[in-house]
Amino acid sequence: MSPAALVAGRRVWLCDLDGTLVDSAPVHAAAFRAAIGELAPSALGSFRYDAHAGATTREVVAGLGVGGDVADRLVRRKQRLYREYVAAGRVPVFPGARRLLDHLTSGGRTAYLVTSGSRGSVERVLAACSLGGYFSGVLTGDDVPSGKPDPAFYRHACALWSVDPDDAVALEDSAHGVASAVGAGLVTLQVNAVKPAAGAAQVRDLDEIADVLDQGVSGSE
């Protein structure tokens, strides 16, 4: 089924942030590598951020096999570095992101942000990229007991905002995010993906989704 047919009539959009609306993966990777190099250098050689995309910082650190005080320090150091990079303007908005969000908020739809990022980092990105005003609510990795790919993440979002999954679309980039959304019974679009994830409809980029919404408006006139 085409993306246009999948999203037709659905009024609620649950949007991921990192890798979906903002091109933050290189900056997250740089912050992780710097923090690991300082605090757990023996783990640096095998670290590949793309294997963890969509997971929380603490989950990524746990996957390194680092525990105790070192793990806590590593989480804090990575987050601090990432926030410094955000403040320095190193996280750009993907082309088409503002166009898509403008379509959603001006077309009678409701957009929520559903992200594994920590609240402090997410708030800084939204402010730095001037995206905060688009969302009726924000759910972060700090607000739930388990992150993506657990479907409980998206189920929690739907329960929090009284969202009917049959009226909603999830917008994701990572396999972790797609698994969480699809597992929660949501129609899911995957964007900016090198490798397609099972259960999601693939879209080229955010402008393609905005074009779909344009066509829907024209078709209703």
Beta bridge partners of 188: 170
| Angle ∠(206,208,214) on CA atoms, nearest 5 | 110
For residue 221, how far is the Cα from the chain centroid?
33
Q: What pLDDT is stored for residue 217 in this prediction?
A: 52
Sheet holding 12-15, edge to edge: 138-139, 110-114, 12-15, 168-172, 187-190, 201-202
Q: Residue 35 CB: number of other CB atoms within 10 A?
A: 23
- What's the Cα-to-Cα distance from 109 to each of 2, 146, 179, rounded to whole Å? 20, 28, 24
Cis peptide before 149 (omega within 30 of 0): yes
Q: Which residues contact 179 (CB under 8 A, 6 or more apart)?
A: 148, 149, 151, 197, 198, 199
Q: What pLDDT is stored for residue 186 in this prediction?
A: 98
Predicted TM-score (pTM) of this structure: 0.91
66 secondary structure, DSSP code: -
8 A C-beta contact, residue 117 and residue 126: no
Q: Tens of pLDDT along the chain (221 residues)?
A: 789 999 999 999 999 999 999 999 999 999 999 999 999 999 999 899 888 877 889 889 988 988 889 999 999 999 999 999 999 999 999 999 999 999 999 989 999 999 999 999 999 999 999 999 999 999 999 999 988 999 999 999 999 999 999 999 999 999 999 999 999 999 999 999 988 999 999 999 999 999 999 886 544 43
Q: What pLDDT is stored for residue 219 in this prediction?
A: 41
Pick from 14, 17, 13: which is nearest to 131 by CA?
A: 17
Q: What pLDDT is stored for residue 221 in this prediction?
A: 38
Q: What pLDDT is stored for residue 53 in this prediction?
A: 75
Q: Which residues contact 46 (CB under 8 A, 6 or more apart)?
A: none
Q: What pLDDT is stored for residue 161 in this prediction?
A: 98
Pick from 182, 220, 3, 217: which is nearest to 103 by CA?
A: 217
